[in-house]
Structure 1
Amino acid sequence: MKKILNDETKKYLYYVFDETNQEQLLKQMSTVLIQKKFVKESYQDAVIEREREFPTGLPTGGIHIAIPHTDCVHVETEGFLVGVLETPVEFEIMATNNEYVNVEIVFMLAIKKPENQVFMLQKLIALCQDSEKLMLLKKGEKIEEIEKLLGTII
């Protein structure tokens, strides 16, 4: 795991992860959110369980993503963690039964107010439909542009 952007005041974090197992990746990512006080310790088990029941993998054009999240009772401060994966990790595709996609970017959400979930998901879906923006996130080279992009989500 390597920290790239870590500005809690802007409500987003941006890290690179080298985990290849989905559950271990979710544990690592939720641990970052716990340490940064975005979520309660209960978030970790809750997000893993929710991903089992309601998968969040999305086969977007080129770079596939996942958007794991869980109930607001586990959240302290609203925000999100972008995890760029050095090696793709298999996630089940949202709203399917046993269809999978190799994910390269994970957006782990910490949503405090349920009414904000739809807004944040709409922003993420719009971002994920833009292959150039996803490539910008994946490469991690133009930090100022990445900061501007992530700032539009929350």
Structure 2
Amino acid sequence: MSKIDIQTVMPQIMGYQITGTERDDVLTEMADFLASMGMVKPTYAKAVIDRENIYPTGICTEPYPVAIPHCERDGVLKTAILVGQTRNNGITFQRIDDTDLNVDAKVIFMLAVDTNQGQLEVISKLMDVIQDEKVVEEIVHAKTCEMIKEIVTNAFMNG
């Protein structure tokens, strides 16, 4: 596999500590945060939830499951990844590979990518990142949003 030039589509990476406990509430909470930062339009939350209902994004990674909710670029103003750290047991998502099964995602990577090609590159790079057990574990145990941002940024740049 050729190395992706992530520099050309490097997203703004932000850490976030989730307060919600239900999937749709969490997706709205995260999308609203991205909107407040000028990254997405206010309609982004509904678009992400609608897409998640059709194309689930829960991934059964080890040692902790993750989810990668996103939607089409229409609602995106600037490319960003909001990395949400969940509390306690995680947030229940349907699995991407078997919608009859669920995972309790401990980390949620909400993508907002403003180009089609960029979305493929960012998702490809993110798949490499989430398959690194050490990185996911560090995110789960990070104490601050800044630590989450630093962990993911380093993984994107050096992974």
Q: Given the two structures, how large is their TM-score scaled by the length of structure 1?
A: 0.87
Moved over 4 A (4+): 141-146
Contact 2:57 2:68 in 1 (8 A): yes
1:95 Cα deviation after fit? 3.3
1:1-154 alignment to 2 at 5 Å? 11-87=12-88, 88-141=90-143, 146-147=149-150, 149-150=152-153, 152-153=155-156
SS at 1:12 equivalent: strand
Count of residue pairs brought into register by the alignment: 146
For the aligned residue pairs, the C-alpha RMSD in angstroms reads: 2.1
Q: Given the two structures, how large is their TM-score scaled by the length of structure 2?
A: 0.84
User: Structure 1, unaligned stretches of length 5 or more?
Assistant: 1-9
**Aligned residue identity for 1:127:** V
- Select the structure with the greater relative contact order (CA < 8 A; seq sep ≥ 6): 2
**Aligned residue identity for 1:119:** E
- The percent of aligned pairs where both chains have the same amino acid is 26
Measure the CA separation in 2 of the matches of 1:153 and 1:82.
13
Measure the CA separation in 1 of the matches of 2:13 and 2:114.
14
Measure the CA separation in 1 of the matches of 2:134 and 2:154.
17
The structure whose residues are more often strand, as a share, is 1
User: Structure 2, unaligned stretches of length 5 or more?
Assistant: 1-10
- The structure-2 alpha-carbon separation of the partners of 1:151 and 1:37, relative to structure 1 and needing over 3 Å to count, comes to farther
**Aligned residue identity for 1:96:** D
Measure the CA separation in 1 of the matches of 2:149 and 2:30.
19
Contact 1:40 1:75 in 2 (8 A): yes
**Aligned residue identity for 2:25:** Q
Contact 1:140 1:146 in 2 (8 A): no
